[in-house]
Amino acid sequence: MKFTNRSIHRDFAYFYVGLIIAFSFSGIILNHRQDWYPMDYTYESEEVSLEIPSDKKLLNDEAYLKEATKIWKVDGKFDGARLRDGKLRVYFKDNIIADVDANTGKGILEYKRRTPIIGHTMYLHKTTNKSWIWYSDIFGAAMLVIAITGMLIPAGKNGFKKRGWKLALAGLLFPLLFLIFLA
């Protein structure tokens, strides 16, 4: 096999096409995670109540919350809690979450699952597994190779030297403008 810009560009693109598609989907979804977050979807929910103690500092006490939430009969083990802006969020293993109003004690207990396929591609995008990070770094380097070899493939009047550099410059301007005006 002869190594040319075209063959390197083509073979790297073929090898990484699956990851390009997965990262593209999950990246778009992550951009809109305030509207829809397929890492978790609620498949069951129920109303719950919690006895609010006179000393609200107890809402930050793990031992108190473990005991107080036993009445909910949650299958998952208590995994922590946080109190923020009058809202208590209680976490249990197996992706079970309760949101409780810290003043009234009324809340919702939600049982969540990962959306098949789409939720799993998001896991690839967000994971902190060291092996995956190394593979993703190699993927990033391969994307640079794909971009550079794509620019160097001779294509006549529509090649990089004639027209491609203008499109590449325009493509660089958009992220720069967003960084300048939105950062």
User: Which amino acid does the sequence have at 27?
Assistant: G
Which of 113, 135, 153 is the C-terminal boundary of a domain? 113
11 and 52 both lie in a single domain: no
Domain residue limits at 175: 5-35+117-182
Provide the number of structural domains found in the chain.
Answer: 2
159, pLDDT greater than 80: no
In the sheet where 78-84 sits, what is the strand order? 41-49, 106-113, 96-101, 87-92, 78-84
Q: Burial-class residue 100 by CB neighbours within 10 Å (0-12, 13-18, 19+).
A: buried
Which of 94, 113, 132 is the C-terminal boundary of a domain? 113
Are 100 and 84 contacting, i.e. CB atoms less than 8 angstroms apart? no
Query: Does the predicted model carry a pTM greater than 0.75?
Result: no
19, pLDDT greater than 80: yes
52 and 107 both lie in a single domain: yes
46 and 104 both lie in a single domain: yes
The residue among 106 and 183 whose pLDDT is bigger is 106
Count of CA atoms in the C-beta half-sphere (13 A) of 13:
11
How far is CA 10 from each of CA 20, 51, 108, rounded to the nearest angstrom? 14, 63, 52
Which of 113, 143, 158 is the C-terminal boundary of a domain? 113
128 and 160 both lie in a single domain: yes
